[in-house]
Structure 1
C-alpha cells in the first residue's frame, strides 16, 4: 500500500513540562559569547567567499586569460542539409579561425581563434524545438574553452566574408562599442516601451545583438565570457521558457527576458545589422555589402534547405576568394 504522505505519528503527546533553568547564569553567558563568535566567523567566511559582484564572479577567481580570444560557435543540422553544404560551412569557420592563429606579440600559436561545432540532437532539450541547441552549444563552448574572451554564435545559414575583421576589435572593443551601440532604443521594434540604457558604456557590455524587421535576431551575436555570461545562458535556457511554446522558440524567449529582466538589459547592446549580421536580401533587414564581416541567408530556411544551398553558392565563391587574397 502506498501513501501520498507519510503516516501520522501516534497522537499521544507528552504532558507539558515547564522549562527549568539547568545552567547557571555564568555558563549561559559564556555560551552566548561563543555563539556570537561563531556567527561572526561564519559571516567572515561568507564575505570572503561570496561573489564579488564583478564581471567574473567569485572574489579571487582568475578572469579568462583571453586564450583563445574568440570562439566561433555554429550548430549544424545534418539531417536537413547536404554534406557538401555543411562542409563549406565548417571550412569557412575553420579558415577564419586559422587566419587569426596568434595574438600580436605572442610567440607561437598562443591565443589562436577556435571554431566550435555542435549538431542538432547533441543535447537533451527536454522536448523543446531543436533551435534551442544554439543556447546549449554556447554554454558548451564556454566549458570547452573556459579562458576564451568572446564567443560568437553564427548561424549555419551564414558565412564569414571578411577574414581581416576580428571580433575583439570590430565589435567588442570598448571605444568601438561606444560608437556602435544604440542608446534609448526600443528593444523590440518598432515601439517597445523597454529601451536600451542611455548610460551604458562599451566597457560594461557583455552581449551584442542586432535587430531585423521582426525583432531581435539570434542568428549572429557575440557574448563576452565571464560569470554574467553563464548566468545569462542559464536564464535563457530556463525550463519555463523552453516549455512556454513561444512562436519563435528561443528568439521570443530572449525578447521576453530582455524586456523583463533589467540584469540582462543592463549588459546588452544593440548594433546595426551590418556590423555582424547583414542579410543576403534586404526584404527583412539590412542587405550585405562588400566589406561586411558576415552574410546571413536569413530567408531561405523558410523555403527549404535546397534554397539555402543554391543561394549560398555565389557567397561561397566570394569568401574563398577573399580568404585566399587576405
Structure 2
C-alpha cells in the first residue's frame, strides 16, 4: 500500500523548509532582532544594579551591646549604654542595644545570646559592613581610637595580626595561619592565657559571617555542655573548620581587650591609653561589677581632662 506524501512546500505541512522562506525575510529583520537583544541586556543589567540604594545615613560600623537587666540595676545599665553611645556618636557609628532576655536560647548560659544578637543587628542594619560586639562588662577607656584606624585598616591589621600562634595557649596543635593577608580577614578577636575571648570581637558582614554564626550557634554545640559554653564552642569550630580559621585574625589583647592589672607585668594588662578595659566575669568571682565600673569611669574622666 502506498501513502501520498505532501511535497516539501505543501501548505498543509506544519514545518516549512528554510529554503521555502525568502532570504530577504531574515535579512530585513536582523536589525530588529539585534535591537531587541540589546534592550533585553540593558534591562537585565540596569534592573540588577538598580536595587535599593544605600541610605546616606547608614553607618559603616555598628556597636552591639547586650545588657543583663536581671542582674544589674537600671542605673548601671544606663552608664554602660552611655559609654557606648558617646563613643558611637563621636565616630558616626550605629548602636544596637538589646537585653539577654530578648533571645530565647534555651537552658544554656546567657553568653550564647551574643550570637543571635549579632544576627539581629545585621538584619536591623542591612547596609552596615562592620559589627563590633563588646561585652557589657567592658569599658571604652580611650574613645579617641576609631575601629578603622586602630584595628581594621589593612595596613594596620597586617602589623597587628598574631601569626602562627596556638589557638588555645600554650601548645595547641592548631595555630593561626602565617600568610593570610589582612584584606581577607572577616573576624577579629583576642585571646588570653586560656584561649579565645569573644567578649570583644569584630565581624564583617557577608556569607562567611552568616556561616560562622550559624555554625557557632548550632544546637549540637550549644547543648553539648562545654565547660565555658560559647567560648569553648568557638575554639572547637575554629580548630576543626579551616574555613573559619582562614578568615580569622587574633590581635594583641591590649589592642581591644585589656584586663585590670594585678600588679604583675602580664601581657594584656591595662595601661593608660588602651582602647578597652574588660572587667571579665566579675560576678562569678564575688566582685562587684557596678562598683568597679564607677571606679574605672572616674579614672577615665581624669584621663579625659
Structure 2 CA distance for partners of 1:297 and 1:174, relative to 1, 3 Å? same
Of 251, 257, 262, which residue of structure 1 is paired with 2:242? 262
Please tell me whether the aligned partners of residues 278 and 286 of structure 1 are also in contact (alpha carbons under 8 angstroms): yes
Q: Kindly state the Cα deviation for residue 316 of structure 1 after the two structures are TM-superposed.
A: 1.3
Instruction: Report matched runs for 1:113-128 at 5 Å.
Output: 113-128=93-108
In the aligned structure 1, how far is the partner of 2:130 from the partner of 2:300?
A: 23
- Whose helix fraction is larger, Structure 1's or Structure 2's? 2
Distance in 1, Cα, partners of 2:239 & 2:50:
33
- TM-score normalised by the chain length of structure 1: 0.73
Secondary structure, counterpart of 2:198 in structure 1: strand
What is the deviation of 1:203? Answer: 0.5
The answer to whether structure 1 residue 186 and structure 2 residue 166 are counterparts is yes
Cα displacement (A) at 1:199: 1.1
Computing the radius of gyration from Cα coordinates, the structure with the larger value is: 2
1:22 is matched with: none
Q: In structure 1, which of residues 292, 295, 298 is the aligned counterpart of residue 274 of structure 2?
A: 292
Aligned to 2:13: none
Q: Do residues 313 (structure 1) and 294 (structure 2) align?
A: yes
Matching residue of 2:283? 301
Q: Which residue does the alignment assign to 2:82?
A: 91
Q: Using the alignment, how far apart are the partners of 1:121 and 1:68 within structure 2?
A: 26
Q: Distance in 2 between matches of 1:145 and 1:128?
A: 27
Superposed displacement of residue 290, structure 1: 1.2
SS in 1 for 2:101: coil
1:268–1:156 Cα change, 3 Å: same
Matches within 5 A, 1:41-120: 67-100=58-91, 112-120=92-100
Which ranges in structure 2 are unaligned for 5 or more consecutive residues?
1-48
- Change in CA separation of 1:93 and 1:320 when aligned onto 2, cut-off 3 Å: farther
Query: In structure 2, how many angstroms separate the alpha carbons of the residues matched to 1:127 and 1:202?
Result: 38
Evaluate the alpha carbon distance shift between residue 62 and residue 235 of structure 1 in structure 2; reply closer, same or farther with a 3 A threshold.
Answer: farther
Unaligned regions of 5+ residues in structure 1, if any?
A: 1-58, 101-111
Q: What is the DSSP-based 3-state SS (H/G/I as helix, E as strand, rest coil) of the residue aligned with 1:244? A: coil
| 1:223-259 superposed Cα distances (whole Å, 9 cap, x missing partner) | 1112211111111111111110111110000000000
Q: Secondary structure at the match of 1:274?
A: helix
The Cα shift of 1:303 comes to 2.4
Aligned residues: CA RMSD: 2.4
User: Structure 1 pair 61/256, CA: closer, same or farther in 2 (3 Å)?
Assistant: farther
Could you say which residue in structure 1 is the equivalent of 2:215? 235
Counterparts of 1:293 and 1:64, CA distance in 2? 30
1:203 to 168, 183, 197: 183
Normalised TM-score (structure 2): 0.78
Structure 1 position 127, deviation (Å): 2.5
Does residue 156 of structure 1 match 2:147? no
